[in-house]
Amino acid sequence: MNTRSTQESTGARRVAFLGLGVMGHPMAGHLARAGHQVTAYNRSPAKAAAWAAEYGGATAATPRQAAAGASLVFACVGNDDDLRAVTLGDDGAFAGMAPDAVFVDHTTASAAVARELHGLARARGLHFVDAPVSGGQAGAVKGILTVMCGGDEAAFAAMQPVALAYAKAVTRIGDSGAGQLAKMVNQVCIAGLVQGLAEAIAFGQRAGLDMPLVLDVIGKGAAQSWQMDNRGKTMVDDKFDFGFAVDWMRKDLGLVIEESRRNGAQLPVTALVDQFYAEVQALGGQRWDTSSLIRRLKK
């Protein structure tokens, strides 16, 4: 692992950022503020224009144009198909990248698409690093994400110091696909934990306890978690209009369950929680934060 404190500062680089959504917008902003020359692309051009007005970078009409002349091309789009849409084809980034340039993908996607694009990039003399993130919107805004990477060591070494502009840690887990597999481990951890927290809060509320007080007390003991610290109070208050969308979580758990069919891992709780999230979607919670699991317990 290499953290900002142990990393020497890097010179300004010419980079591109594709996908200025909830995560990409602030991440690209940190790159611009760190002094890099950023060209941004977003499918809906209005978001790119708004980003450029805020941070002063350039915009491009296609991924290919954004990638031209950049030594590093970052992306944070929705899923496997979106990632193929910004990398491949006549207007895709791969067509515009200079030899030896590195594509860094922050999308949460499958390990299979990471390996596929790594192979296609190598065939063109390019590099591809899968680099999904953890830390949510707040982590992106504050520039304290955790980035888990898969890919060749030299390509990782090229991207790591630059990505530290928006991360507290950027770590190579292994070969291509290993970053996405590590993110799947992360999501398995979160799924069961959020359901446990939801059951605990719903139980405490039915028991008539002062739950903010209870969470404050047990949050200083062995039950403490990031979810309890950051989502406990809003779960008590029944507020979910922020954070990491249920639709995205279902996409991630779908990737996990598909991978488990390949590697034989047993995920009984994760599979159950995935179905609970399907119920939350049916309640209208597609864009609610993942802590909305508690909603189905309050029906």
Ligand X SMILES: NC(=O)c1ccc[n+]([C@@H]2O[C@H](COP(=O)([O-])OP(=O)(O)OC[C@H]3O[C@@H](n4cnc5c(N)ncnc54)[C@H](OP(=O)(O)O)[C@@H]3O)[C@@H](O)[C@H]2O)c1
What positions carry a catalytic annotation?
183
Token pair belonging to 244: 């990491």
Report if residue 247 touches ligand X, rule: CB under 6 A.
Answer: no
Using CB under 6 A, pick the residue from 74, 248, 277, 288 that binds ligand X.
248
Minimum distance from residue 19 beta carbon to ligand X (Å): 4
Using CB under 6 A, pick the residue from 156, 244, 277, 288 that binds ligand X.
244
Question: Judging by beta carbons within 10 Å of its beta carbon (0-12, 13-18, 19+), is residue 94 exposed, middle or buried?
Answer: buried
- Which 88-107 positions form the footprint of ligand X (CB under 6 A)? 107
Report if residue 42 touches ligand X, rule: CB under 6 A.
Answer: yes
Of 10 and 286, the one with the shorter C-beta distance to ligand X is 286
Report if residue 291 touches ligand X, rule: CB under 6 A.
Answer: no
Report if residue 241 touches ligand X, rule: CB under 6 A.
Answer: no
CA distance 211 to 69: 55
Q: Which residue is nearest to ligand X (CB)?
A: 21
Question: Judging by beta carbons within 10 Å of its beta carbon (0-12, 13-18, 19+), is residue 266 exposed, middle or buried?
Answer: exposed
Minimum distance from residue 246 beta carbon to ligand X (Å): 11
Type of residue numbered 162: V
Using CB under 6 A, pick the residue from 85, 120, 271, 297 that binds ligand X.
85
Whether 137 and 79 have beta carbons less than 8 Å apart is answered as no
Whether 125 and 132 have beta carbons less than 8 Å apart is answered as no
Question: Please, where are the H alpha helices in the chain?
Answer: 24-33, 45-55, 63-67, 80-87, 93-96, 111-123, 136-142, 153-163, 178-206, 211-218, 226-236, 246-263, 268-282
Whether 279 and 297 have beta carbons less than 8 Å apart is answered as no
Using CB under 6 A, pick the residue from 16, 23, 169, 267 that binds ligand X.
23
Of 78 and 196, the one with the shorter C-beta distance to ligand X is 78
Chain mean position to CA 298: 29
- Which 143-202 positions form the footprint of ligand X (CB under 6 A)? none
Binding mask 117-136 for ligand X (x = CB under 6 A): ----------------x--x
Applying CB under 6 A, which residues contact ligand X? 19-24, 42-44, 47, 76-78, 82, 85-86, 107-108, 133, 136-137, 244, 248
